[in-house]
C-alpha cells in the first residue's frame, strides 16, 4: 500500500511534466485552448493508451479511471492561464528555472512510465515475451511524446536527438532481467532510478547518438 502510494506520486509527477511539455509545444505553435489541452493531455496519457491498444487491454485504462487525464488537464489549464496572464514569462528568467525543474520531473516520469508499461505487460501474462515487455515499457514512456510531435507536425523528438529514448530502453531491459533475479520492489527502484540518472546525465552532458552522415565542417 505504502509502495503503491509512493509510486502513484511519482507517476503524478511524470503526468504533470509530460502534460506541461505537450502544452508548451502547443503554446509555441500558437494553437488555441483546445489545441493546448489536447496536446498536453495526449502527451501525458498517450503512451499508456497505445500500450493498452497493442495489449488488447481495451478500453484503455485511462478511460476507465481518468485520474491521470484530470491531472494532465489541470496542469494544462494552470500553465495556459499563467502564460495568458503574463506573456512576458515565456522570455523571462523564470522560464529557465521552470524548464530545469520540468526536465527533472520529466525524467522521473520517464522512469515511472517505463516501469509501469512493463508491469502492465507482465500482469497481462506476457512477462516471458521480453521483446514485447521492453517495447511496451518504452512505448509507455515515450509514446505520448511521439503522438504530441506527430499532431504538432514535427518529426518526433526521440528520433532526432539526445539520448532520451535510450534511457527508457536501457531501464526497460534492466528491469526485465531484475524481475527474474530480484524482488519486485528492488527491481522497480533500481530500474526507475537508472532511467532518471541516464536521462539527466544525457541532458547535462549532451549525449547524442551517432548519425550516419557527418555535418560538413564550417568553412573557416
Q: What is the dihedral of CA 71, 75, 77, 80, to 10 degrees?
A: -160
Site of grid cell 507482465: 122
Q: How many chain residues are in contact with a second copy, going by CB under 8 A?
A: 55
Site string for a second copy, 44-73 (x = CB under 8 A): -----x---xxxx-xxx--xx-x--x----
Angle at 49 between CA 67 and CA 8, to 5 degrees: 35
Residue 155 interacts with a second copy (CB under 8 A)?
Answer: yes
Stretch that binds a second copy, among 6-14, 28-36, 175-183, 184-192 (CB under 8 A): 28-36
Name which of 146 and 194 has its Cβ closer to a second copy: 146
The answer to whether 95 contacts a second copy (rule: CB under 8 A) is: no
Contact region with a second copy (CB under 8 A), list: 8-16, 106-114, 194-202, 211-219: 211-219
How many Å apart are CA 168 and CA 179, to the nearest integer?
16
108 in helix, strand or coil?
helix
Q: What's the residue count for the chain? A: 220
Distance, CA of 84 to CA of 33 (rounded, Å): 10
Residue 55 Cβ vs a second copy, minimum distance, rounded to whole Å:
6
C-beta of 6: minimal distance to a second copy in Å?
Answer: 26
Selection from 3, 27, 204, 6 nearest residue 107 by Cα: 204
- Give the binding site for a second copy (CB under 8 A): 26-27, 29-36, 38-39, 49, 53-56, 58-60, 63-64, 66, 69, 80, 83-84, 87, 90, 126, 129, 131-132, 135, 146, 150-156, 158-161, 165-166, 208-214
Amino acid at each position: 500500500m505504502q509502495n503503491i502510494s509512493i509510486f502513484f506520486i511519482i507517476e503524478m509527477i511524470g503526468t504533470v511534466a509530460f502534460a506541461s511539455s505537450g502544452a508548451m509545444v502547443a503554446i509555441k505553435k500558437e494553437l488555441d485552448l483546445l489545441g493546448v489541452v489536447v496536446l498536453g493531455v495526449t502527451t501525458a496519457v498517450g503512451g499508456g493508451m497505445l500500450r493498452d491498444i497493442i495489449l488488447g487491454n481495451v478500453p484503455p485504462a485511462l478511460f476507465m479511471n481518468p485520474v491521470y487525464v484530470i491531472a494532465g488537464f489541470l496542469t494544462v489549464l494552470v500553465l495556459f492561464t499563467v502564460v495568458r496572464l503574463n506573456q512576458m514569462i515565456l522570455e523571462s528568467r523564470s522560464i529557465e528555472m521552470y524548464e530545469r525543474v520540468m526536465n527533472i520531473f520529466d525524467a522521473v516520469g520517464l522512469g515511472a512510465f517505463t516501469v509501469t508499461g512493463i508491469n502492465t505487460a507482465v500482469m497481462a501474462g506476457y512477462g516471458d515475451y521480453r521483446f514485447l515487455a521492453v517495447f511496451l515499457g518504452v512505448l509507455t514512456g515515450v509514446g505520448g511524446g511521439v503522438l504530441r510531435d506527430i499532431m504538432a507536425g514535427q518529426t518526433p523528438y526521440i528520433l532526432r536527438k539526445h539520448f532520451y529514448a535510450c534511457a527508457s530502453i536501457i531501464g526497460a531491459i534492466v528491469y526485465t532481467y531484475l524481475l527474474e533475479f530480484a524482488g519486485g520492489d528492488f527491481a522497480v527502484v533500481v530500474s526507475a532510478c537508472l532511467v532518471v540518472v541516464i536521462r539527466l546525465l544525457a541532458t547535462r552532458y549532451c549525449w547524442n547518438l551517432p548519425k550516419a552522415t557527418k555535418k560538413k565542417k564550417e568553412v573557416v
